[in-house]
Structure 1
Amino acid sequence: MARLNYLELPVASTGPAADFYAKVMGWTFTDYGPDYAATTTGDTDVGLDADTTLKTMLPVIQVDDLEAALAAVEAAGGIIVEPIFAFPGGRRFHFRDPDGHVLAAMVPE
C-alpha cells in the first residue's frame, strides 16, 4: 500500500520557515543540522530543506517495496531523477512523472 507520508519544502533558511509554520500552524520542528528541520508527528510530516536543488514541494510516498516501486515507475514511463539512496529514516529515490512533477518513493528503516 502506498501513502503520502512526508512533504518536503525547499526554503531559503530553516529558522525563519520553522518560525512561520510554528506561528501559523502550531507545528514544532526538530533541527537536523543547519539546513534541515522537520516535524516528527509520525503522521504526514513536513521537512524544511535549505540545501536542495528542488524549486517546488517534494511529495514523499511511502511504499512497501522500494525496488518494485522503482521498476513500476520506469515501466510506466516515469524518469528516475535520483537513484535509491539512504537518508535518516530510511531509503528513497526521486522520480519525474509524465506531467513533469518530481516525487519521491521511500521505505522507512
Structure 2
Amino acid sequence: MTMNNHINYVEFAAADLAATEQFFKQVFAWQFEHYGPDYIAFSNSGLDGGFFRSELAGNTVNGSALVVLYSDELEQTMLNVKQAGGTISKDIFSFPGGRRFHFIEPSGNELAVWTAS
C-alpha cells in the first residue's frame, strides 16, 4: 500500500510531557523516544506521532479533531484510564456500529476509545 496522501503522523500539545508519557505507557503500552526537553515521539499506537510542550490542549468543545483508539475490552480500558489518572469526559455510550467513551489525559487532550461489541 502506498503512503502517498495518507495520514502518516499526528502531534498533540502537552503541558506535562512526563505525565502524558507515563499515562499512555501505562494504559495503552505505547513506546516513547525523547527528542530534547520539549518533544517526545510515540510508537506502537497504530499511528505514530508525538507530543510537543505547550500549555494548550485539544478538546472537541474547542473544535479539535478527536482521535479515537480501539479496544477489545472497553470497560477494562476505561478502568485503566481512570487508574492511570485520566478523566472520563463522556461515559460509555452506544452508537451505530459499537460503543465508546471519551477521556482527558493528564495534559488535557481529549481522546476516545471504541469497540465494535
Q: How does the TM-score come out when normalised to structure 1?
A: 0.50
Query: What residue number does 2:34 align with?
Result: none
Q: List runs of 5+ in structure 1 lacking aligned partners.
A: 1-43, 45-51
Query: What residue number does 1:103 align with?
Result: 111
Q: List runs of 5+ in structure 2 lacking aligned partners.
A: 1-46, 48-59
1:77 is aligned, of 68, 85, 97, to 85
Q: Which amino acid aligns with 2:100?
A: R
RMSD: 1.8
Q: Which amino acid aligns with 2:110?
A: V
Q: Cα offset for 1:89?
A: 1.0
Hey, what's the Cα distance between the residues in 2 that align with 1:54 and 1:86?
23
**Which aligned segments of 4 or more residues in structure 1 are displaced greater than 4 angstroms?**
none
Any residues of structure 2 matched to 1:12-91 within 5 Å, and which? 53=61, 55-91=63-99
Q: Cα offset for 1:55?
A: 1.4
Provide Cα deviations, 1:44-103, integer angstroms capped at 9, x if missing partner.
9xxxxxxx7451010010111000000000000000000000011100000000011100
Question: 1:60–1:79: structure 2 CA closer, same or farther, 3 Å change rule?
Answer: same
- Secondary structure of 1:72's match? helix
Aligned residues with identical type, % of pairs: 44
* Equivalenced residues, count: 59
Q: How does the TM-score come out when normalised to structure 2?
A: 0.47
